[in-house]
Amino acid sequence: MGRKGIYLFALCLGYVSCLDLKIIAPYEPGHDGAEPCLRICAGTTGRVGTKWINYHTSGLYVDIDIKECDFKSNQTPIITTVLAGTSSHWLTDGGSRVYNPSSAGFRIYIHLRGEYGNIKSLYRTNQWRIDWQAIGYTC
C-alpha cells in the first residue's frame, strides 16, 4: 500500500472513530449512551417492491421486516419512518406512524381522503415506499 493508500485508510479510520451516538432519553431502562451494542439500521421497502395491502376502501398497509438488523429480541428499537415517492404522497396520512414495533418488524398504515382521489390508482404510479431508520441494542 502506497502513501496515498495509507493516508486514505487513516482518514477513514479517523471518521469512524469520531462517530458518537448518544441516546439522551433511553427507550429501554438502563441504557443511556452509545456502547458497542448500539446499532443504527436503515432501509426502504423499495420503489417497485413495496408489498402494499389494501385496507378498506381508502387505505393501504405494509409490514416491514427488520430482522436483518439483529436487534435483541426482548428490546424494541426506536423506529422512525417516512412515506416517500415521486408524487402525491403528501396527500396521505399515516406514513410516519409506526404500529406494532418489535425487534423483528413493524407495520405502517396510510390513508387518503376520498376528495384527493383513489389511493389504489396512486401508490404504484407514484412509486410510494417507506424509508425507515431503527436504533436499538444488539447485546
pLDDT for the residue 113 = 82
pLDDT for the residue 22 = 61
Q: Of 61, 65, 64, 63, whose CA–CA distance to 109 is shortest?
A: 61
Separation CA 115–CA 133 (nearest Å): 32
Question: Average pLDDT of 99-121?
Answer: 93
State pLDDT tens for residues 72-99.
999 899 999 999 999 999 999 999 999 9
What pTM value is reported for the model?
A: 0.78
The residue with greater pLDDT, 10 or 80, is: 80
pLDDT band at 26 (very low <50, low <70, confident <90, very high): low
Q: Which three cell numbers stand for residue 14?
A: 479517523
DSSP secondary structure letter of residue 46: -
Instruction: Report the DSSP beta bridge partners of residue 63.
Output: 107
